[in-house]
Amino acid sequence: RGGAHKRKHRIVDFKRKSSSIVARVATIEYDPNRNARLALLHYDNGVKKYILAPRSLKIGMEVCAGKDAPIEIGNALPLASIPLGSTVHNVELTLGKGGQLARAAECYATLGQVGNVDAINVCLGKAGRSRWLGKRPKVRGVVKNPIDHPHGGGEGRSPIGRSKPVTPWGKPALGIKTRQAKKASSKYILRGRTK
């Protein structure tokens, strides 16, 4: 929403296509663009790449990718080669597209849970820290004037004055389905949620 601190972009390797080349974890670094930490890998052929750091990955550990990679934290394998019930992340949806989500057998996934699991428990502590992240204040529609929002106006603490809440532009805000009918992942939905 604007006003955030400047960030530098880190190019993360979501595809893990350096198959069968062993890489050593050189550092685990902070990334301002995501909650997760990044692990810098030094491959045996001299290439350096970032990956999402799994939960128990430590500096000095070795990781690799490929069909014959061992079942260890940080290794990327085809879904068919991963034991049932394993915790995975960075999962492909389309073969060769890189980590998204997955259903196909030849798609890759990385073993282990993404690290920095306590990110959800962080208390920002003050309004200024939210502003550093680019989050601007949110003003409720009901406290605005009627010219600014459909919920606005009235004397004192007044209700919305409509049967259902709406957006600032008058469109329904709650309970209206907004999913695109021709979305690519719709073919993976067997049945919708029941209320």
pLDDT at residue 96, as a whole number: 73
Cβ neighbours of residue 126 closer than 8 Å, sequence gap 6 or more: none
Q: What is the mean pLDDT of residues 10-22?
A: 85
Question: What SS3 state is found at 91?
Answer: strand
Render 109-166 in DSSP notation, one character per residue: EEES-BS-GGGGG----SHHHHHHTT------GGGS-TTT-TT--SSSS----SSS-B
Q: What is the mean pLDDT of residues 108-120?
A: 88
Residue 100 pLDDT class (50, 70, 90 cuts)? low
pLDDT at residue 103, as a whole number: 46
pLDDT at residue 101, as a whole number: 59
